[in-house]
Amino acid sequence: MSNEKKVNNSTGDPMAALKRQAADKAVEWVESGMVLGLGSGSTAAFATQRIGQMLRDGALCDVVAIPTSDETEALARREGIPLVSLDDRSRVDLTIDGADEVDGALNVVKGLGGYLLREKIVARATDHELIIVDDRKLVQRLGSRSPVPVEVVQFGWKQSRTMLCQTGARPVVRMRQGRPYVTDEGNYILDCHYDGGINDPQATAVAVKQIPGVVEHGLFLGMVQTVVIASLKGIQVRET
């Protein structure tokens, strides 16, 4: 499926305009009665805002949502979107989220925003995972543009870092204000740089997940059905 729409950049921030138009396109997949996963980050926030507006306008009804971060939960509450948990609803009809990289097979890297664990839990429970990106996020090989975030427990995290090096990574602990960044779940994130990208994402994902102390990684492989891509040339849709 392919669909393009010209972007109007006559006013405001061109990148913000791209993100908003891509989010508006993504929300076309939302239907009344759905259980939605609400992703995290600036682009996914535009989609959350649009869903809230549609609920207020009556264009949508009987929608409930599961947020993937405390930040998204706060935004959804402000938008008046009814929230539930995965304990309440075991399956999610549609999740709209962003990504840091997307390859030609629609495998993605996520987690630079710090919410990869909840995002992956929700994605695994989702029937249709939809990702919104701008065209700078498109890559031939995962790990070639951005590091792969790996969430690790605080106890023994340096040992986890040492073992991540054996996967070919250069892991760097994520910092904020001079201290290690702590996720919503109380863990650290090691940003794993793979020079030249990852040759075998599946094998790398397995190797990383087997390391003691690793909670989750940012490789989302075979989990995405639709990608909405924004560029100055228009909005494009790719599907598996």
Catalytic residues: 119
φ/ψ of 210, rounded to 5, equals: -80, -10
Contacts for 56 with CB less than 8 Å, ≥ 6 apart: 80
Quote the tokens at residue 195.
Answer: 């020079």
Question: Which CA distances in Å does 202 have to 62, 102, 175, 222?
Answer: 38, 15, 28, 10
Other beta carbons within 10 angstroms of residue 227's beta carbon come to 23
Contact 182, 215 (CB under 8 A): no
φ/ψ of 74, rounded to 5, equals: -65, -40
Contact 76, 39 (CB under 8 A): no
Which runs of E-coded beta strand occur in 8-61? 35-38
User: Kind of pairing, strands 226-231 and 234-239?
Assistant: antiparallel
